[in-house]
Chain A
Amino acid sequence: MKLLRVSVNQLRQFRDPVEIRDLEDGINLFTGPNESGKSTLVRAIRAAFFERHKSSSVGDLQPWGDSAAAPEVELQFEWQGKIWKVVKSFLKKKRCDVSVDGTTYSGDEGDDKLADLLGFDLPKKGASNEKHWGIPGLLWIEQGAGQEIKAPVEHAGQQLKAALGEDLGEVASSTGDELIGRVSSERSKLLTGRGKPTGELSKAMDQEEELQAELHDLRERIQRYADQVDRLGQLRAEQQKADAERPWEQFRQQAQQAQQALDSVTALQKDQERDQQALSDCQASIETTRELLKGFESQKGELAERERQQQEANQKRTELEARKPAVEEALEKARRAHKGAREALKRAENAERREELERQQKDLEADLKRDSDKLERAKSLHARLLESRQKQQALALDADSMKQLQEAVRALERLDIQQKAVATRLQYDLQDDQAVTLDGEALSGKGESLLLEPGEVAVRGVGTLRILPGGDDVAEVARNQARLTDERDGLLQSLGVSSLAEAEQRLAEHDELAQAIEKDQSVLNELAPEGLDALSDDLKLRQDKLERLAEQVSALPAPQGEALSVTRAQAQVETAEEALESAEDAYQSYKNEMALADQALEKASQEHRRIKTALEDPKRSEQEKQAQNQLLERGAAERRFQQSIAERDLKIQAARPDALQQDVERFTRSAEAAERQLEERTRELDKIQAVLETVGAEGLGEKCAETEVQLERASRRRAELQRRADALDLLLERLTAHRLELTRRLQAPLQKHLTHYVQLLFPGGSLRVDENLIPEVLVRQTHGAEERGSFDDLSFGAREQMALISRLAYADLLSESGQPTLIILDDALVHSDAERLKAMKRVLYDASQRHQILLFTCHPENWQDLGVVAQSMEALKSA
């Protein structure tokens, strides 16, 4: 199909007729800014096809505010060698004329003719909407709707499927889908979507498991029962054996025998103990007797020893006695030496004292002489100072008055100068010296007088000239002069001087005197820092001291020859003291030794006497004899006991009393154990018997068998359901797979076109459509790996690109099945980046080889490389 010409009049923007002619095969590019009429043109084309000419719902076609307009569209296109002319106008002038190669169809017939040709529906009533648009709705993309593909495809579904062939309809509508529904529903009764058991199957599995557990439990109980039966049999056999053998009786008898043997050994052990006691008593007695005899023997030796000791003591005492005179003499000598040394020391000390006092006397006398001179000088200085001060006082002037005087004098001097300046000058040059007087004083020669007060110049022969100095100044100066003169005179009087010079002379003298005073005062301070009285008192004190020293010297004894030095004398005293001390020690130790010797002698004599008395006692020999007899007797008894003990010990050891004791215990315990075992066995027998009777009555075997029956049934049911589930699962899988395969096969022609375009964008890529031919999955090769992305998850731009590709593929499909295709893109691909846009242009150019494409854009720069001349909307309108 090729659109040849479009003209529009009184339609929206186009209040005046606009015509587009000479449309090309392939791409026709229309550019213009926003609101330049691109969308209006698209709307006009759509209206020409989609809207019934009689529709009253197309008010939007009228230019704004012009309700009287009759919007009109004229189209001319070629299809299968025939030229179609369409003239449609709406609202105020409702008209439709479609002529095909000369045959004209008017009114509704014309509307329907177009709908049949392009594959869309017309609304029965009202405005056309997307549900009616069919193929053009899919291929004519409105502004901003490029990414929307699902709804348009659905609305064009019939025609698209028809283009693919009749079989495709079969896939969705035959018994197959119903079958899949049934199988899926049956399967869902037994399996969840993920293949987990549910419903009856899950219940059957639970039941089987439950029964298995129950059966296991019952079998265990039966096994336990059987074990207990065995135990019962074993216990019965043991009991029979015990009843027959009665082992505990035998053990009791054995215990008794052992006890008897043990008793007889115990008797022997008692005898043994008794004899051992007797033996030890006997041995103790022998020991005592031996001690006694030994005592007797040692006494004899002791007597001799005592005699010797006595002699020794005596000898020692005599020797000590002989040393006495020498010791006493040494002591006396030491005492004398000590006394002499002490006296010598006293003398030395006195001599040293005198020497010291005499030296002090001499020093003091010298000091006294020097300080007396000093005192004299100080006194005379003091007197001179007094005089100077009196003189100074007379010369003193009051400082303030002095200052006032100076100021008054200076002011007067200033006034004097002032007076000369303001005074009336009387200059004269007289020839006759006697002729002129001023205030009575004659004036002569050449001169000048200053007049401060009125003056009278008498000129002889002439009369008197009275001169009055002019102005207040002269008078005031004169007044000030008088006041200051009074003041000065007052001050001079009060100061007692005749002039300022005198006053200043007096002041100079006064200062000079002050300096002399200061100098004298400083010398005086040096001589008597604490004053004259202090100096004189000090002198007096030292005088007294000197007198006392003289007294002390005279009090000392007179010196006797040459005296030792004190140090030497002290050393001699110390030596004498040491010698005395050692002499006294020697004497004391001698006295002690003497006392000890006396004591020893006394003691030795006593001992000697005592032993001698004892030895001479007559009873003593009798005792000695008795003791010796006793010793013999006890010795024999000891040997007897020892023999009897040794013999008995052999007997006891042979009988092994410890082993016998253990035997008694062992046999007794064995008997007890046997009896206890008997009791325990009886108890266990009773217990097991009771348990078995109870359990036996439960009919475990039958219960077990019944449970087996139930389990068998449950297992069978589970297996049946499992098999059914597996079968349904397999069936569903196969049916779905085959259905998909068939769909794929039927979609192959479309898929071919899709792949063709997608690979212009993504080499190796493909776009899958679902069974309704709606794009579903984009498959790309990225870094050698296959990447799948759901269409709905793609970015806006990518979705728009894929949607356009799908549309072009649908167009190819339709074209192949002999259907007209016209593609209109209003501002398409605005969301594509430069790279993609480039690829998409290849896609579009490729499609334009087979289809006419009208492309409207407000971005002409993006489409310069489409290989066509762009037509400006502005140019169209102004043409």
Chain B
Amino acid sequence: MPRFLHTADWQIGRQYPRFDPDDAVPLAEARLTAVERIAALAAEESVDAVFAAGDVFDAQTVSDRTIRRLFNAMAGYTGPWILLPGNHDAALAESVWTRAQRLDAVPDNVHLALSAEPIEFSEQGFVVLPAPLAQRHAQNDLTAWFDQADTDSGLIRIGVAHGSVQGVLAEEMEAHNPIAPDRAETARLDYLALGDWHGAKQINARTWYSGTPEQERFRGNEPGHVLLVDIASSGATPAVMTHFVGQHQWIQHEAALAVSSDVDALVSALQELPEGAVVDLKIAGTVDLEGKQALDRAISVAKARFRSLTVDDAGLRLQPSEEDIASLKADGYVGAVIAELQEEQSGENGEVARDAMAVLAEILLDAQGQGGGA
């Protein structure tokens, strides 16, 4: 019984500008290790072929080294790989694919579906109908030719395409590279392997998006999966199974602080998030000096646990308590300045007032620390 592995949107060569290089480099690296895991899974499951439905590379202009590293990462599976050009890596006159060929980096078991013609695997009993993008964006349905493609009647027909199934996805996704939702039916396909949608998604019994195997944004639609597809014989309904292969979870967390116990709650919430996650933390509300210090400590700890932690505390106001002010010995006109800044934190120039408050607290605490030490 033929068994396939369906994946897509590897986006090799992707970088993460919004993260520190310390975090961004491992995140980029994770995309390659995802391919290694896919190869291992394919070998383990003894699949008959692996389909990568487009956007294998993130850009045409990735370096030669990156090209070679991808094909090296695929070495764990020696069966046939069918790689389809997507909108990021379209089969242009000169493309990442022609470069890979010129570099002689493509192993024999890897098939580059650069033109719209069937690739037959008679021994394994299936034929692949690819719909490669030959330009960045196509306005017409590139899978249309599947309908007319004649293949040996005994062979399982598998379509591979990259684009937006019409009428199913969010509107902004449908602008380019349209795919008819009933293509599997009209083209008598046993399975249509799709790429471009980054989450695993079933369109109909024979049509699936696998999603990206490694998450790369916070908006999550079941990312981090590959699909194991079993097709008993030509015409049989495929059995599709999702398989999680992702390494880093991308998590957005928001917290509103009002009382001191809110800080404790946030600290424990952070502790519960999985290790290696990419976390985007947004904090708003007010906090006194003690709370701020506790929060800073917790964030420092979390930074070490997570792959990446981004904190947005633009909405957080530092509100020193009476005790804080007393302990800071911020009497006289300094006290007046603190009161004024506190007042202004919620006003028009709130941000700079908040910053000024934080700096003031920092300097006073520092002076106090020095005083205490002396």
Contacts and interface: CB of A to CB of B under 8 A. Distances in A.
A571 interface: no
Given A222-B61, A701-B60, A726 B336 contact: no
A693 interface: yes
Interface string B331-371: 11110110011000000000111011011100110010000
Interface stretch (A27-35, A170-178, A415-423): A170-178
A689 B94 contact: yes
A371 interface: no
Given A727-B358, A730-B352, A731-B356, A175 B61 contact: no
Contacts of B17: 705, 708-709, 711-712
Given A701-B61, A709-B19, A735 B94 contact: no
Interface stretch (A145-153, A738-746, A767-775): A738-746
A817 to B, nearest CB: 22
Interface stretch (B63-71, B228-236, B259-267): B63-71
B9 interface: no
B60 A226 contact: yes
B20 interface: yes
Contact of A741 (B15, B60, B333, B351): B333
B37 interface: no
A182 B63 contact: no
Contacts of A118: none
Interface string B5-26: 0000000011111111100100
Contacts of B21: 709-710, 713
Given A708-B15, A723-B351, A697 B63 contact: yes
B62 to A, nearest CB: 5
B14 A229 contact: no
A503 to B, nearest CB: 158
A730 B99 contact: no
Nearest to A696: B99
Contacts of A728: 356, 359
Contacts of B358: 727
A702 to B, nearest CB: 5
Chain B residues touching A, majority SS: helix
Nearest to A704: B61
Interface in A683-704: 688-689, 692-693, 695-704
Contact of A731 (B20, B60, B337): B337
Interface in A313-331: none
Interface in A217-231: 222, 225-226, 228-230
B217 interface: no
A171 to B, nearest CB: 8
A709 to B, nearest CB: 5
Interface string A719-735: 00001101110110011
Given A699-B61, A742-B332, A742-B333, A709 B24 contact: yes
B330 interface: yes
Interface residues of B, number: 48
Contact of B61 (A182, A186, A702, A724): A702
Given A236-B93, A734-B340, A742-B332, A702 B63 contact: yes
Contacts of A179: 334, 360, 363-364, 367
A699 B363 contact: no
Contact of B355 (A235, A688, A711, A723): A723
A225 B61 contact: yes
A186 B359 CA distance: 10
B251 interface: no
Given A726-B352, A734-B337, A701 B13 contact: yes
Contact of A701 (B62, B93, B336): B62
A404 B136 CA distance: 167
Interface string B80-107: 0000000000001111100100100000
A734 B363 contact: no
Contacts of B351: 723
A734 B341 contact: yes
A214 to B, nearest CB: 13
- The CB with the most chain A CB atoms within 10 A, among B18, B60, B96, is that of B60
B22 to A, nearest CB: 10
A232 interface: yes
A727 B359 contact: yes
A710 B102 CA distance: 31
A706 interface: yes
Interface in B131-147: 135
Nearest to A167: B332
A820 B291 CA distance: 56
Nearest to A712: B17
Interface string B282-304: 00000000000000000000000
Given A734-B356, A739-B333, 6 more contacts: A179-B363, A186-B363, A232-B93, A708-B17, A735-B333, A738-B333
26 contacts: A175-B367, A176-B332, A186-B359, A225-B60, A225-B61, A228-B94, A689-B94, A692-B94, A696-B61, A696-B94, A697-B64, A698-B63, A699-B61, A699-B66, A701-B61, A702-B63, A703-B63, A709-B15, A709-B16, A723-B351, A727-B356, A730-B353, A734-B337, A734-B356, A738-B337, A739-B333
